[in-house]
Amino acid sequence: MTDIEASAISALSVVDVIIPVYRGLTETRRCLESVLAFPQRTICEIMVVNDCSPEPALSAWLRELAETGAITLLENPVNAGFVNAVNRGMMQHPDRDVVLLNSDAEVHGDWLDRLRHHAESDPTIGTVTPFSNNATICSYPRFNQDNPLPEGWTLAALDRAFAEVNAGLAIEIPTAVGFCMYIRRDCLQKVGYFDALVFKRGYGEENEFCLRATEVGFKHLLCADVFVYHQGGVSFGAETSALCAEAERNILERYPHYLGMIGDHCTRDPARVLRRRVDGFRLIHSPRPRLLFITHIWGGGTEKHVQELARILEPDFEVMILRPTELHGVSVEWGRSGEEFIAYFNLPHAYLKLLDFIQSLSVVRLHFHHIIGMNRQVLQLPRDLSLPYDFTLHDYYPICPQYTLTLKDSRYCNEPDEAGCAACLAERPALWGLDIVTWRESLGKLLSDADRVIVASQDMEMRMRRYVPDARYIRLPHPEPVLTIAMPHAPPCGELKILILGRLTPVKGLHQLEACAIDARLRHLPLFFRVIGHPDRDIRQEPAIPLSFSGPYDDAELPRLIGRERPDVIFFPALWPETYSYTLSYAMATRLPIVAPRLGAFSERLADYPHACLLDWDTPAAECNDLFMNLLERASNFLAEVDDDA
Amino acid sequence: MTPEDYLQQYAEPLQASVGTVSSSDWPALMLEPDYYYPPDSAWGPGLDTLNRTDLLGLLQQILSIEYPQQRLSRSTAREFPNVLQRLKDEWAWRQTEIERLEKILAQHQSDYERMAAELIEHQTELQRQAVELEHCQSRLAVLVNQASTLHANLAELHGSTSWKLTKPLRWFGRMVKAARTPDV
């Protein structure tokens, strides 16, 4: 048989599109309407198997549609289960390829022609699965996630993007995903149908089928130029997770290597390249101006600010985030929520590639948030790209390589002269091996050349102006929603519970706090120190001293955690001039007494707070405890005042 | 500051760029596959992204190196998954072996450093003892010198006339001392 004859026969052969239906009139209508809306070059018969739906409206609508001749309707007199319904459809025509399409899926364009093109590209191909928003290893934009459609993108636009960017591309996958699965007839003939005995109600049957097919030499493809929408969980709802777990057990009994095979595929994630191509297409076609943030990988307040700023900019801008990586490289990720795009550039070799990439993105502005851990080449980006830039200061890194203006003992250094700084650097050298003069010159110039240097507090601006007077500072406290924390009333119990918020490091007062707790133990004071957060190193805790830690927490959880602790006072033992302090915002929302150092942003932020008590930053632990004892005596008065205010 | 107020002030200088996005063609933004995987990752797109023709070409190249007299046939192609698996297993074994040897190397290096430190300590002690020995030797020389001087003085005393003249007196003295000492 010649190729032309084979192609002609192939064009004439019919494909059955099998859609098992049980629940969900709206979803089923959308599914069938999308299938019927796009005529294909492939001749196909749309075969709907109504598995005795409990929704009369759905059954009635299907019968009406069948009467028009648009679909072939098979009706099960009793509910036979998803797998039996599918098998019934597949058995109708034993010479046809089939496509299994879930009734909560939607298709677009010549989806079937493209699927079939891949299926016929090689006789060893058993199944073909398209990309979808909700299809585990075939998910987009995030791998193995249940994604919504990307904001601003319809199914039609997204499918066109896949078809254009990934035209003709496919990769091998360990198993097909059943929401939309093309199965070649010769595969069905050699492997058999789905195992309805074990997987009667659905979930896992397609995986077990694929494993059987693999054993006899068939391959499974992810075709990268088709995107099919899949809502997921319509027929089984809350039962979905239980069915999945049962399916996994059943598969592992027969194929113990299954999870290892899937794990290997997920680790290598060969489809990533294909997803990234579509990400790039979407980025290029976004009408929003692009900004590039430059920050570190240390988390904390800087990361929180970067993420929050990216969120509030989402409606109007595309925010890309550049961070340092291992081995002196950088990564550039798409900062929009729900996106996965990330690219890695190994510096210095890939610096030109990085420049090309940023230029191709048409970035309009850079925004430095932090440069710690960064390859020095990154500082040249504004010049090499001829782009304006802003610089938000989250600490004192441009004037102090230790970034917190603290000495080796983690206490405020009182900002000595250059000789003092040189002595400090001799003990703890600066990044890139620079001396203090060169450091301040080079980073000071970066600040001076910035369009705006954004500081969150007046204290920080004053300190920075002493070193970099000619920078264009603007004062913008970090954006934060209005916080309200309901504090349950805690009657006095003869002990003062002192709450400390956040991850504690020595500069945040870890050792000061430990000293307070030791003093309280030695003097038998009725004080208890409780930290919502964790220490960055091992220190003594309860029962040795009256101090305990709750462990790491998520910011969204903090109001609830504070309320649960029912503290009497909130304490900030910081030993460096804080530039803003997010945790102070939470503390102020409680309206509880706050004890904080008279250093950094605390003074100005607490200036109008009615229950603030400011201490010298170097107040000894014993004196702090004396203050707490004083507060304990006045605790009932404070609580009464708070109640009155409320 | 509320997010709305912040956005208003932050975005003010950016307003000029809104609506003036100059899009380049999408292929310009496409990177080679390696750029999408972390640099420290041992994984990458690997063979999965090669199409069948590329893969067969690659196998043919491997064969031509390994078995120059053979051509890739269907049967040898079938063997390749097994060969590949064996290579993967061997690679995994070698990785384990490398890790094991690295641990041993690290242990030896640590032993070496410890022994080097001990050696330096012993050398220092040896130098200190050598200095002390030298000091003792010079002191000994002084004492030997003093002893020979004293011997000479003693010989001179025994040979003197006064010593000889007082010999009876010393003999008489010894007699008196012996008489006074009771017999044992």
Q: What is the pLDDT of residues A532-548, one digit of tens each?
A: 999 998 888 999 999 99
**What beta strand segments (E) does A435-584 contain?**
452-455, 473-475, 496-501, 527-532, 547-549, 569-571
Least confident piece of the model among A13-22, A510-519, A528-537, B33-42: B33-42
Please name the fold of domain A496-645: Rossmann fold (3.40.50)
- B29-62 burial, b at 16+ Cβ within 10 Å, e below that, comes to bbbebebbbebeeeebbeebbeeeeeeeeebeee
Locate the domains of chain B by residue range: 31-72, 86-145
Q: Do residues A616 and A597 make contact, with C-beta atoms less than 8 angstroms apart? A: yes
B181 interfacial to chain A (CB closer than 8 Å)? no
Residue from A343, A124, A154 nearest A218 by CA:
A124
Q: Who's near A187: CB < 8 A, 6+ residues apart?
A: A125, A126, A127, A213, A218
Amino acid at A126: G
Between the alpha carbon of residue A365 and those of residues A257, A390, A443, A646, the distances in Å are: 50, 8, 19, 46
**What beta strand segments (E) does A133-179 contain?**
170-172
Q: Is the dihedral of CA B26, B27, B29, B34 positive or negative?
A: positive
Q: How far apart are alpha carbons A90 and A84 in whole angstroms? A: 10
Q: Do residues A320 and A292 make contact, with C-beta atoms less than 8 angstroms apart? A: yes
Asked if domains A3-278 and A285-475 share a fold, the reply is: no
Distance of alpha carbon A233 from the chain centroid: 23
B7 interfacial to chain A (CB closer than 8 Å)? yes
DSSP state of A125: E
Edge-to-edge strand list for the sheet holding A496-501: A547-549, A527-532, A496-501, A569-571, A594-597, A612-615
- A97-110 burial, b at 16+ Cβ within 10 Å, e below that, comes to bbbbbbbbbbbbbb
pLDDT tens digit string along B127-158?
Answer: 999 999 999 999 999 999 999 999 999 999 99
- Which of chain B's residues have a Cβ under 8 Å away from the Cβ of A313? 7, 10-11
pLDDT of residue A322: 97
B42 interfacial to chain A (CB closer than 8 Å)? no
Residue from A457, A494, A456 nearest A478 by CA:
A456
Q: A268–B31: do the CB atoms touch at under 8 Å?
A: no
Q: Is residue A100 helix, strand or coil?
A: strand
Q: How far apart are alpha carbons A526 and A627 in whole angstroms? A: 13
Residue A609's CB is within 10 A of a number of other CB atoms, namely: 16
pLDDT tens digit string along B72-83?
Answer: 566 666 777 777
Residue A491's CB is within 10 A of a number of other CB atoms, namely: 8
Q: Which residue bears the tokens 């005042």?
A: A641
Angle CA(B66)–CA(B71)–CA(B75) in degrees, nearest 5? Answer: 100
What proportion of chain B, given as a percentage, has pLDDT over 90? 46
B137 interfacial to chain A (CB closer than 8 Å)? no
Give the pLDDT band of residue A235 (cuts 50, 70, 90): low
pLDDT of residue B1: 85
Query: Is pLDDT of A574 > 70?
Result: yes
Give the pLDDT band of residue B22 (cuts 50, 70, 90): low
The 3-class secondary structure across A23-60, one letter per residue, is CCHHHHHHHHHHHHHCCCCCEEEEEEEECCCCCHHHHH
Give the pLDDT band of residue A644 (cuts 50, 70, 90): low
DSSP state of A383: H
Distance of alpha carbon A601 from the chain centroid: 31
Q: A285–B26: do the CB atoms touch at under 8 Å?
A: yes
Query: Is pLDDT of B69 > 60?
Result: no
Locate the domains of chain A by residue range: 3-278, 285-475, 496-645
Q: Who's near A638: CB < 8 A, 6+ residues apart?
A: A568, A593, A611, A631
Residue from A342, A239, A353, A230 nearest A297 by CA:
A342
Angle CA(A613)–CA(A617)–CA(A620) in degrees, nearest 5? Answer: 95
pLDDT tens digit string along B119-129?
Answer: 999 999 999 99
- Which of chain B's residues have a Cβ under 8 Å away from the Cβ of A481? 2-3
Q: Do residues B79 and B59 make contact, with C-beta atoms less than 8 angstroms apart? A: no
Q: Do residues A196 and A82 make contact, with C-beta atoms less than 8 angstroms apart? A: no
**What beta strand segments (E) does A236-317 contain?**
290-294
The 3-class secondary structure across A581-621, one letter per residue, is CHHHHHHHHHCCCEEEECCCHHHHHCCCCCCEEEECCCCCH
pLDDT tens digit string along A259-304?
Answer: 888 998 998 899 999 999 999 999 999 999 999 999 999 988 999 9
Q: B1–A476: do the CB atoms touch at under 8 Å?
A: yes
Give the pLDDT band of residue A233 (cuts 50, 70, 90): low
- Which of chain A's residues have a Cβ under 8 Å away from the Cβ of B56? none
pLDDT of residue B13: 85
Q: Which 377-406 residues of chain A touch chain B by CB within 8 A?
A: none
The two structure tokens encoding residue A178: 């059943």
Q: How far apart are alpha carbons A399 and A378 in whole angstroms? A: 18
pLDDT of residue B102: 93
Question: What are residue B32's phi and psi, to 5 degrees?
Answer: -65, 150
pLDDT tens digit string along A586-623?
Answer: 999 999 999 999 999 999 999 999 989 999 999 999 99
- Which of chain A's residues have a Cβ under 8 Å away from the Cβ of B33? 273
Question: What are residue B82's phi and psi, to 5 degrees?
Answer: -65, -45
Amino acid at A587: A
pLDDT of residue A273: 94
B172 interfacial to chain A (CB closer than 8 Å)? no
- Which of chain B's residues have a Cβ under 8 Å away from the Cβ of A268? 43-46, 48
**What beta strand segments (E) does A116-173 contain?**
125-132, 170-172
pLDDT of residue A89: 95
Q: Do residues A208 and A252 make contact, with C-beta atoms less than 8 angstroms apart? A: no
Q: Who's near B125: CB < 8 A, 6+ residues apart?
A: none
Q: A326–B40: do the CB atoms touch at under 8 Å?
A: yes
- The kind and range of the H/E element at B158 are helix B74-158
Residue from A19, A20, A22 nearest A236 by CA:
A22
The two structure tokens encoding residue A215: 């054993």
Q: Which residue of A has its CA nearest to B37?
A: A344
**In sequence order, what are the beta bridge partners of A392?**
A454
Cβ burial, residue A467 (10 Å; 0-12/13-18/19+): middle
Q: Return the residue in A118, A264, A268 with the most chain B beta carbons within 10 A, the one to mutate for interface testing.
A: A268
Query: Is pLDDT of A372 > 60?
Result: yes
The closest CB to that of B37, out of A344, A452, A474, belongs to A344
Between the alpha carbon of residue A160 and those of residues A17, A155, A227, A422, the distances in Å are: 21, 8, 8, 60
Q: Which residue bears the tokens 């102006």?
A: A465
Give the helix ranges, DSSP H, for A290-417.
300-313, 351-360, 381-385
Give the helix ranges, DSSP H, for A470-606.
510-522, 558-565, 582-590, 601-605
Q: How far apart are alpha carbons A40 and A162 in whole angstroms? A: 18
Between the alpha carbon of residue A503 and those of residues A292, A484, A603, A617, the distances in Å are: 28, 22, 21, 19
- Which of chain A's residues have a Cβ under 8 Å away from the Cβ of B3? 308, 312, 479-481
Give the pLDDT band of residue A1 (cuts 50, 70, 90): very low
The two structure tokens encoding residue A87: 């098998």
Query: Is pLDDT of A240 > 80?
Result: no
The two structure tokens encoding residue A626: 């004396």
Inter-axis angle of helices A458-467 and A436-448, to 10 degrees? 120
The closest CB to that of B26, out of A272, A280, A326, belongs to A280
Q: Which 257-286 residues of chain A touch chain B by CB within 8 A?
A: 267-270, 272-273, 276-277, 280-281, 283-286
A288 interfacial to chain B (CB closer than 8 Å)? yes
What proportion of chain A, given as a percentage, has pLDDT over 90? 78
pLDDT tens digit string along A146-194?
Answer: 999 999 999 999 999 999 999 999 999 999 999 999 999 999 999 999 9
Q: B48–A280: do the CB atoms touch at under 8 Å?
A: no
Q: Do residues A461 and A583 make contact, with C-beta atoms less than 8 angstroms apart? A: no
Query: Is pLDDT of A116 > 50?
Result: yes
The two structure tokens encoding residue A6: 């084979």
pLDDT of residue B181: 79
CATH 2.60.120.10 fits A3-278, yes or no: no
Q: How far apart are alpha carbons A18 and A138 in whole angstroms? A: 20
Give the pLDDT band of residue B47 (cuts 50, 70, 90): low
Question: What are residue A562's phi and psi, to 5 degrees?
Answer: -65, -45
- Side-chain-side CA neighbours of A93 within 13 Å: the count stands at 18
pLDDT of residue B85: 79
Write out the CATH class of domain A285-475.
alpha beta
The two structure tokens encoding residue B165: 């003249």
Quote the minimal CA–CA distance from A617 to chain B in Å: 26
To the nearest whole number, what is the mean pLDDT of chain A?
Answer: 91
Query: Is pLDDT of B166 > 80?
Result: yes
Q: B36–A362: do the CB atoms touch at under 8 Å?
A: no
